[in-house]
Amino acid sequence: MKAAVLETIPGQVTVDDLMVDNPGPNEIVIRTEACGLCHSDLHVMLGDLPSPVPSVLGHEACGIVEAVGTAVTEFAPGDRVVTCLNAFCDTCRECRAGRSWLCVNRNSLRQRPANNPSLVRNADGAAVTAMAGLGGFAEMMLVHRSAAVKVSPDIPADRAALLGCAVITGVGSVFNAAKVKAGSTVAVIGAGGIGCNIIQGAVLAGAERVIAVDLHPEKLELARTFGATDVVNGAEVDAIGTVVELTQGGADYTFEAIGLESTIQQAIGMLRVGQTAYMVGVAPVGRPVGIPAGQMVLTGRGVQGVFMGSNHFPTDIPMLANLYLQGRLKLDELVDEHIGLDGVNAGYERMQTGVAARSVIVFD
């Protein structure tokens, strides 16, 4: 099968021929229909997020089950599934406590031992890893059974794929982590794929005012289509001062969806006293962020990191799919262009120019 493989870090992907193994007892093989280009793959290509190479990137995918392992009873060939990088064991302390997105056994479920690779390169038999145990930039995926969930075949594949990362991360941050209350005020810094989903999550939660902050006019325009009541261009005005004024003292909830020190500091600065700023964007691993500790103590403010929208995706993704089918969750507006595997590098170059919506790989 064909796959877009990252050979070096930093680097770009090249399309190569790989062989996918048969599923183990608790694995499934999926024929990939669509996979979105998420910022986290770009972080890996740039070296900001550690990952082994060679590796098939891609972790926002949808496809049709092709084969299932001998122990798998919840899937059958022909099922339409969405994958999620939050594979979980259901038995560790975090899973038992209802926090499966923090499962301590996630990595051992996602990666096979080195002597039993799920993917090998046809040319030389070299083992190739799959990013986050998924590897969606490929015609086939071999994943743990706990990394996928069935969805309705009524959702187009290019929309359904986005449920697995951008949508669940954004909407989940609002529903599961911040638990935004109706009538509250919300500020979202960064109006890309994640930010627009935080915005529409806040709208669904009944926020009175949803303020989008970004530097790109095109992204702020997209934020409006996702329900932002106000937009603030940080390149033109003082973002903190403007949000504090619009909310008469600071937003009840702020979300940072980029992963930059300056914008994390903004999220704290535009927060109402006694409230919490949520860090949703993935900052480069190992790079510290300075926060005004004394000021935070004196004003009772907090900062909370949110991983993948604190999701329990086996229930969250079907819920999000139903909201889409009811016309209440926007997915069509997230898709900017369809590309093939050979368009991945260009898609990421495009992302870095400030294009708001997603490039999505669609397989024939």
The residue ranges that bind Zn ion (CB under 5 A) are 38, 40, 88-89, 92, 95, 103, 105, 165
**Rounded to a whole number, what is the largest CA-CA distance in the chain?**
63
Indicate the SS3 state at residue 274: strand
Tell me the closest approach of the beta carbon of residue 245 to Zn ion, in angstroms. 33
Nearer to Zn ion, 73 or 91 (CB): 91
Nearer to Zn ion, 105 or 345 (CB): 105
> Which value, to the nearest 10 degrees, does the dihedral of the CA atoms of residues 66, 347, 192, 158 take?
-30
**CA–CA separation, 199 vs 218, rounded Å?**
15
Is residue 304 left, alpha or beta, with left meaning phi > 0 and alpha meaning psi from -120 to 50? beta
**CA–CA separation, 226 vs 166, rounded Å?**
14
Nearer to Zn ion, 18 or 165 (CB): 165
Nearer to Zn ion, 165 or 211 (CB): 165
Tell me the closest approach of the beta carbon of residue 302 to Zn ion, in angstroms. 25
Phi first, then psi, for residue 304 (nearest 5°) are -130, 125
Cα→Cα distances 182→136, 185, 254, 276, 294, Å: 36, 9, 15, 16, 31
Nearer to Zn ion, 40 or 118 (CB): 40
At 147, the amino acid letter reads: A
Tell me the closest approach of the beta carbon of residue 18 to Zn ion, in angstroms. 22
Q: Which of 257, 26, 231, 60 is nearest to 157 (CA)?
A: 60
Tell me the closest approach of the beta carbon of residue 40 to Zn ion, in angstroms. 4
Nearer to Zn ion, 93 or 181 (CB): 93
Tell me the closest approach of the beta carbon of residue 101 to Zn ion, in angstroms. 10
Tell me the closest approach of the beta carbon of residue 282 to Zn ion, in angstroms. 8
